[in-house]
Amino acid sequence: MSQPSATGLPAPTPSPGVLAAFEGAQGFMPVHEGLALYAAAVEAGRLGLPLLEVGTYCGRSTVLLAEAGRTAGVAVVTVDHHRGSEEQQPGWEYHDPATVDPELGVMDTLPAFRRTLHRAGLEEHVIAVVGRSPQVAAVWGRPLGLVFVDGGHTDAHANADYEGWAPHLAPGGLLVIHDVFPDPADGGQAPYRVWLRALASGDFEEVRTVDSLRVLRRR
* Marked catalytic residue, from 81, 82, 125, 153: 153
d(CA 146, CA 79): 13
The pTM of this model reads 0.91
% of the chain surpassing 70 pLDDT: 91
153 is catalytic: yes
- pLDDT per position as a tens digit, 129-182: 999 999 999 999 999 999 999 998 999 999 999 999 999 999 999 999 999 999
Give the phi and the psi of residue 32 in degrees, each rounded to 5.
-65, -35
- pLDDT per position as a tens digit, 51-105: 999 999 999 999 999 999 999 999 999 999 998 776 665 665 666 777 787 888 7
- pLDDT per position as a tens digit, 14-51: 999 999 999 999 998 999 999 999 999 999 999 999 99
